[in-house]
Amino acid sequence: MVSKRIKKLATAVYMMVVGLAAGIMTAAALCTSAAAPLQTQAKAITTVKKKQNIKMKKLTPTLKRKIAASTPAENAGSDLTLRYPAARITTARLPQGYTLDDTYYYYLSQLANTGKHKNDLRLTRIKYKGFGKYTVDYMTLKQFGHGTNLDCVTVDGVTWLWTGSDPAGSSQSTSTVTCFTFHAGTTLRRHGQYTYRIPVSGSGGSRYAANCFPAISADGRQLAVRFTSNGGQQFQIYDLTDGTTIRPKKVKKTVRIKSTPGDFQGFDICGTTIYTLEGTRSRSEMRELGKASDFAPIRIRAYDYKTKTTTTRKIRGAKAISHREPEGIQVAADGTIELMIASHYKELYTCANIYEVKGGTK
C-alpha cells in the first residue's frame, strides 16, 4: 500500500495540551524506457550569533519547554494555526526543506554552506510527543547539495525520502534526484540507493536538468521534479511506483510557469495542482542585514495545470517569532497545507516551527 501521510493528528486535543502547558495557546481551526539508477541558490546565511562550533547546552526537558514557549499562539486574524512550536535543531546548519511520513516522524534538511562541510546536509528526524516534548536523531548526507526540497513516501511500512543530489559544475547545483531510507547516525555520500538524471523535456535527451528537486503527491503515485529553465520554472511529472522508481524519459506532464518573485522556498504537488512557497526572513532582520529592499512576504501560489489557473495567497501570521523564514510546504490529499517556518531562540539556537494554513489557498 502506497501513501503519503494525510493529516490525522488530533489538532484540537493537541491545542488544549499546548494551552495548559504554555498558558499562551488559543484554539484555532483550519481549517521512458526505464533508466537504471546512477552508480556512482540563492546564498544562504544565518544571523545566529555563534555560527560555527557552537557549544549547545544539553537539550533537557526544561530547555525544550522554554524553547517551545518562544513560539506564541496565533491571534484570530492570523492565517496560520500553530501545530508544533519551536523545536531546537542543529544550529550551524541552515534549514532548507521538510516532510512528514505516515506515522509520526518529521524530517528536516539542513545545509552547511561554508568550509569543509559545504554542500553537506544534516537530515534531522523529529518525533513530537506534546508541548516541548520531542526526540531528535540525525544522519548525514555528504555532498548532496542545497537540500531545497525534501519529500517522502511510505510503501509497505518503509519510508523513502527524496531530495536533490550529486552537485556538479562551478555552481555545485544538484544534477540528479535520489531516494533513500533513514538510518540514524549513518552517512550517505552524494546520493542514495536510487538515483536518476532527468532529461529536459523537449531536448531530445541532449540536456539534463540542473538544480533539480523532487516532490511527491499526497497519494504517493506522482513525483514532480522542479528545475529552472529559460528564466522560469519547469516541472516534469512522472508516475512513481514502489516509492523508488520513475522512468525519466517517460514524462507524464511538463508544466512551465514563471519564476517566483520572492525567494523560492519549496514546492509540493497534489492532484493537478502545483504549490510553490516563497518569501524571505522577517522584515526587521532584512533591515538589520542592510537588505530591506529585498524583503518579500510569505506567499503560496497554487497552479492547476488542468484548468491553467493560478491562485496566490499572502500569508499573515507568525509575526512574533524571530527570523521567520519559510522553509518548506506540504499538502495533504484533502488540501490541508502545512508550512515549516524557521526561528531563532535568543539568537543562539536554530528552531523549526510547524504551522497549518487556515483554509488552504482560499
Residue 193 is predicted with a pLDDT of 97
Grid coordinates of 15: 491545542
Q: Is the separation of the CB atoms in 249 and 199 below 8 Å?
A: yes
Spatial distance between the Cα atoms of 147 and 94, rounded to a whole number of angstroms: 10
Helix (H, G, I), strand (E, B) or coil at 264: strand
Residue 49's pLDDT is: 44
The pTM assigned to this predicted structure is 0.86
**Exposure string (b/e) for 176-197, b if CB count within 10 Å is 16 or more?**
bbbbbbbeeeeebebbbebbbe
Half-sphere exposure of residue 172, counting CA atoms within 13 Å on the CB side? 14
Write out the chain's pLDDT in tens, 362 residues.
555 654 434 443 344 334 434 443 333 333 333 444 443 333 344 444 444 444 567 899 999 999 999 999 999 999 999 999 999 998 768 899 999 998 899 999 999 877 778 889 999 999 999 999 999 999 999 999 999 999 999 999 999 999 999 999 888 899 999 999 999 999 999 999 999 999 999 898 899 999 999 999 999 999 999 999 888 999 999 999 999 999 999 999 999 999 998 899 999 999 999 999 999 999 999 999 999 999 999 999 999 999 999 999 999 999 999 999 999 999 999 999 999 999 999 888 999 999 999 998 77
Instruction: Check residue 26 and give its pLDDT.
Output: 36
- The x, y and z cell numbers of residue 336, run together, are 490541508
Q: What φ, ψ does residue 175 adopt, rounded to 5°?
A: -120, -5
- Annotate 82-110 with b (16+ C-beta within 10 A) or e (fewer): bbbbbbbbbbbbbbbbbbbbbeebbbbbb
Q: In what order do the strands lie in the sheet with 273-278?
A: 264-270, 273-278, 299-304, 309-314
Single-letter amino acid, residue 264: F
β-pairing verdict for 222-229 and 232-239:
antiparallel
Task: Measure the CA–CA gap between 295 and 282, rounded to whole angstroms.
Answer: 7
Q: Are 355 and 94 in contact (CB under 8 A)?
A: no
- Walk me through the domains of the chain, giving residue ranges and CATH numbers: 2-31+60-357 (2.115.10)
Q: Rounded to 5, what percent of the chain is helix, strand, coil?
A: 10, 45, 50
Confidence at residue 281, expressed as pLDDT on a 0 to 100 scale: 94
The answer to whether residues 214 and 266 touch, using CB atoms and an 8 Å cutoff, is: no
Alpha helices in the chain (DSSP H): 11-22, 61-68, 283-288
